[in-house]
Structures are given as structure tokens and as C-alpha cells.
Amino acid sequence: MKDTIEYYGGSYDVIVVGAGHSGCEAALASARMGLKTLVLTISLDSVALMPCNPSIGGTGKGHLVREIDALGGEMGKVIDKAFIQSRMLNTSKGPAVHSLRAQADKNKYQATMKQILENEKNLQLKQGEVVDLKTKEGKVSGVSVKTGAVYDAKSIILATGTYLGGKIYIGEVNYEGGPNGLFPAKELTGSLVNQGLNFRRFKTGTPARIHIDSLDLDEMIIQPGDEEIVPFSFMNEQLEKEQVPCYLTYTNKQTHKIILNNLDRSPMKAGVMESTGPRYCPSIEAKIERFSDKNRHQIFVEPEGLDTSEMYIQGMSTTLPAEVQLRMYRSIKGMENAEIMREAYAIEYDCIDPTELKRTLEYKNIENLYFAGQVNGSSGYEEAAAQGIIAGINASLKLKEKEPFILDRSEAYIGVLVDDLVTKGTNEPYRMMTSRAEYRLTLRQDNADLRLTEKGYKIGLVSEKRYEKMVNKREQINKELNRLKEVKVTPTNETNEFLDKLNSSPLKKPVTLFDLIKRPELSYDALIKLDNERPELAREIRMQVEIQIKYKGYIKKQSKQIEQFKKLEGKKLSKDIDYSEISGLRLEARQKLNKIRPDSVGQASRISGVSPADINVLLVYLEQQRRLKKGSEKSE
């Protein structure tokens, strides 16, 4: 940079650094909220890039996508345009864990999202590697790029993904690089360290891509999409598309032998790479070591799009050398003649400690600096996009001098994600799962619009038309629930014969349709013959009606739990509290509370190292402060 001549590039309200899934949502949110926004990306070819799996959604992740959509985000709409196969996961279980997953045409997804950014009012998209963050009096003031341009900004969102200090590992080979053969960002970390930020190294990996013509798909088990396609976006009531199949095969003893015989050539085993990888997305070598009793592991072979021959080998990410990879893949049924187009690799990168962020995703020590996505220690496109929309919203609201937008754990999976990161932190790439949400029965993917669309409307991201659509849906659901409580079914022979065919016990006295639907073996649609006045309702409304009836007792119980949660969340903690001065708190609790500076007693209770006894001390302290304040007011 010493020889680079700096020049003025322009002034913006918000600058977003990075155009991955996080950066796209952040930029669109701020632009749509009326702020002049600039997106700077290391390459225009990296906009909405899918460097790993060519899919959106999955267990827990599908919830995030539908919540992003309900708030007015873009990911759900784009995947609805670019998907080539759609499946609802976990349908054998209850609706709380149903999760939508769509296989993407990765090139179409990228092109669609890029065009949306290019056409968005108030938004400019430029190629340039940011090398320096500029601050003034504790606030961000702008950035400079490698070619010399300096841009002024009132707010900056860093959504750098895996590019900061990116390093690629393939067996004994390692070199500086970003995902998918792109350049890494080599200088920005140093600038941020000079500003006082702390970094650590995480890693993630991706499997090889194999040419479809070199695979014997007939030797694999076909995995078709669902007959009835459920859209990700609540704005799409119905989607019809000819779907492309995926395929299932398995590793075997020979595969495992090849891997075990070459473990010493793994950069992890050789001690060359010591960074932390994702526990819930391990390499094939880690799986074979961890589950040594298993003779085989599932491998899904997935197309990366309609205009490419690349097939993604899900379940076989690895850091083994290229020649070992070839032998390993060719040992699998249906892959005997596999030709690798892109070798599997691991990428190591810089990320921050997310406990140094507020729940708005603003960095605590530099005003108007926000972080979102994998730079915060998370993994996955969906987790990144969820943080992006939250950072974009809050950066905009703060510049407009409005109250911040914070979703708590009882309101959304996005709330769980952000709270986990900033309150608990993470020692490995964080992945969203349904088990992380303690209120998952009420935070289902099917009701994300009913939970969040009004919030998005008040912020300014959701249009009047979309808001009215949600209100109309809610009214139809409530109207139908009330109607079902009034419609009675009498115990006639015809009725009981019908119920017997559905393996349901006969009626002995009149019962409402509402109560009849409560029976586990019956459904709303199955009882259509007993309901002569049933209105024509969309599938999603019928589904909501049935879920609300069948799970009424459980939902009521969880609502009470949420009330208790809200009480602790409502007990606010001042940012000025010096926890080291509160007697009764253990030393570890004092240190953690002073570092994280929680917003409420509820958040404090979720900090690792803060015990229930410490929370009781805090509650006593708050009551003492309340009485002191009340006493001083009386004396005045």
C-alpha cells in the first residue's frame, strides 16, 4: 500500500465488505431501508458464491431461511427461483423439526442474487479488496481498497466470510487462497488488529466435485424430490418444476483402509494445520476415526446445476492428498471410474470472538462497526444470511437514530443464533440445529411469517402488500379455528363406519370437529367428508389449523415457559455496572460479566461461567438499586 496513490471514491451511509450470503442480505436490508449503500467484494464472481454445498436449508437451517424471508430478506425468494430439487426433512417427526432443504443450481442462484443487488435502488456493487478500516474518535469513518480508492462511511458491516487470511490445505500442499480458487484477503486482518480486535483461526472443508459422466449412477440409490413442492418464500404459494434427482451410495471397508493408511498425510495429523473445524460437519477421515465400529458411511451425490457436469460428493470432505482422494473416491460403488474436476480441500481463515459484539452485531469498542457471517465464528450460508439481515437492519436503524432490532430466543431461530454467538461464544464453527432452540415448538418454520412479518413491516423491509397477505392469512386461520369449534359431528352409523375406516374409535356422543382433529390418527383433510360447510383454504392455512389444534396443549405449556423467560429478559442491566464491585459474585462471574456486559439478567444467566447463585446475587443487587433509587426520589 505504500506505493499506492490514494484517491477519493465517494461517501456512503453504509459500506458492506463482502458479498457472500451475509453481505448480500446486509446490503439489501440497508438499501431497502433508504440508506445509500456500497458493497465491496474481492471479486464480482464471488457474489452469493456457493463454494461448499450447492443447497439451501436443511435441519434448523430451513427455519433461518424462512425467518429471513418473513423479515423481508432475499434468500428464500432466490432459492425458489434457482432450486432443482426440493425436500422436506424430518417428516416422520413432529412439525417443530420439519426443515425444508432445496438443491440449488449454484450458477443460477449466484446470477439471480447478483442481478438483484445490481438493480437495487440505493445500492452500488463494486469489485475491490478492502485493506484498511479507518476510524475517527472511536467511530468508523471509512475504508480503503488495494487499488487506492478511499470510501467514507457512517457505518461499516464486515461480512468477510472465509477470505481473511485464507489458506488452502490439500495433503502436504498448502498455499494462500480463498474459496473456489479466488484470492484471499491478506491485509485487512492486520488493520483490524491495529484497531484492537482479537482474531483466531477456524477452518472448514469441502469435498471433491466429480464429472457426472465418470459416475455409474445406476449403481447408486436414486433420491427424488418431494412430489408436493413447499416454497421457501411465503410470497410463493405454489411452485411447479421438473426436479433433478440426487443419489445415495456408501463408503466401504476398502475406502476406510485407504483413508486409515494415509492419515499421517493429513495436515491435521502432521501438525501443519491446528485450527478448529466444525464438529457437525466432519471430514471423512474424522468420521472413520470417530466411528470406528461403522463399516460404511452415507455419501450423497448431488448435481451442482443444470448447466454443469460437476457433482458434489456430500459427506466426503477431506484434507488428504490429491492422489489419495482419487483412490478413495474410486473405491466407492458407482465411482470406480471417477474423474475429479475440483479436489477436496480445507480452508483456514481469521475470525473474531463474537462475545465482543452487542446483540445488534455491533462491535463493542468501535461505534458503527458491525460483523456478520463466518467472520463471527459461524458456519453455513443460512447462518451467515441471518446475521447479515440483522446487521443491515441495525446499522440502518442506528443511523436513523431509532431503537435497535433484537430478536430474543423466544421469538426466532435468528434470535437463538445471535444470542448463542454473542453470549456464549463458540470454540468451533457454529452450526444451527433445532436442538439449540428451547422454544422450538412455537418457533416452527411454517409459522415464521406469522411471527416475524409484522416486525419486518414496522422496520420498513416488508411491503404493505406482503403485510396484508400475512394479516389475511392469520384471519383465515383464526376464523377456521373458531368455525371448527362450532361444527358438531353426531354419532351416526355412517359417521362411525367412516371413523372405523380411519382406525379411529366410534363416537358415543356429539363432538366438535375441533376436538375430533385432536385425535392422533385423524387429520384436518381426512375429515372433509364429515364437514359439509368446509371453506376452500390454501394448503398452508389448512396445515396451520391442524398444527394449532393438535399441539394446543403443548403450545400453551411452552407459552408459559416463554412468559418466565421474558421476565428475566425484562430485568435490564445497565452498561455502567462494575461487576467487580458487587459482593457475592464469584471471580469468574465478575470477569465474564464485565467482558460481555449483558443487556439483561436473562442474558447473564446464559453466560458460561455465571452460575444460578450468581444470578440470585444479581437479582438482589437490582432490588437494592431499585429501593435506593426510590428512596432518593422520595427525599427529593
> What are the grid coordinates assigned to 178, written together?
480463498
Let me know whether 221 and 335 are in one domain: yes
Domain boundary among the residues 323, 346, 369 is at 346
pLDDT per position as a tens digit, 155-202: 999 999 999 999 999 999 999 999 999 999 999 999 999 999 999 999
Task: Evaluate whether residue 338 is within a structural domain.
Answer: yes
Q: Do 43 and 185 form a contact (C-beta atoms < 8 A)?
A: no
Burial of 492 (0-12, 13-18, 19+ CB in 10 A): exposed
Ramachandran region of residue 503, left (φ > 0), alpha (ψ -120 to 50) or beta? left
Cα dihedral 305, 311, 312, 316, rounded to 10, equals 170
Are 217 and 303 within one domain?
A: yes
- Whether residues 470 and 507 share a domain: the answer is yes
Same domain, 531 and 472: yes
Question: Does residue 137 belong to any structural domain of this protein?
Answer: no
E strand map for 503-623: 511-512
Residues 469 and 547 in one domain: yes
Query: Distance between CA 338 and CA 216 in Å, rounded?
Result: 9
pLDDT on residue 273: 84
| Residue 85 in this model has a pLDDT that exceeds 70 | yes
Q: 296 and 220 share a domain?
A: yes
Q: Is residue 149 part of a domain?
A: no
The reply to whether 278 and 312 lie within a common domain is yes
- CATH number reported for the structural domain that contains residue 620 in this entry: 1.10.150.570
**Residue 340, in any domain of the structure:** yes
- Provide the domain count of the chain: 3
What's the CA gap between 174 and 172, in Å, rounded?
7
Rounded Cα gap, residues 567 and 428, in angstroms: 31
Q: Kindly report the backbone phi and psi dihedral angles of residue 301, in degrees, each rounded to the nearest multiple of 5, phi listed first.
A: -105, 115
Do residues 214 and 317 both lie within one domain? yes
129 Cβ contact partners less than 8 Å away, ≥ 6 residues apart:
42, 145, 146, 183, 185, 187, 188
pLDDT beyond 70 at 586: yes
Do 575 and 552 share a domain, yes or no?
A: no
Between residues 292 and 466, which one has the greater pLDDT? 466
SS3 of 626, please? helix
pLDDT at site 83: 98
Which residue, 303, 318, 346, sits at the end of a domain?
346
Q: Please say whether the beta carbons of 210 and 339 come within 8 A.
A: yes
Please indicate, yes or no, if residue 77 is contained in any of the structural domains. no
pLDDT digits (tens, 9 = 90+) for 482-536: 999 999 999 999 999 999 999 999 999 999 999 999 999 999 999 999 999 999 9
Cell of 613: 447463585
pTM score, two decimals? 0.95
CATH of the domain at 263: 2.40.30.260
Q: Kindly state whether residue 59 falls inside one of the protein's structural domains.
A: no
Domain that holds residue 338: 209-346
Percent over 70 (pLDDT), the chain: 99
Which of 187, 87, 212, 82 lies closest to 128 in space, CA to CA? 187
pLDDT (mean) for 104-126: 98
Strands 130-136 and 298-303: unpaired
Contacts of 183 (CB under 8 A, 6+ apart): 42, 43, 129, 177
* Last-in-domain residue among 501, 532, 556: 556
Side-chain half-sphere CA neighbours of 620 within 13 A? 10
pLDDT at residue 1 tops 70: no
In whole angstroms, give the CA distance from residue 316 to residue 346. 12
Does 187 map to a domain?
A: no
The alpha-helical segments, DSSP class H, found in 33-145 are 61-71, 75-82, 106-119
- Is residue 450, in this structure, part of any structural domain at all? no
- CA–CA gap between residue 354 and residue 377 (Å, rounded): 7
C-alpha cell belonging to residue 106: 449454484
Average pLDDT over residues 227-247: 95
Instruction: Give me the mean pLDDT over the 595-601 stretch.
Output: 95
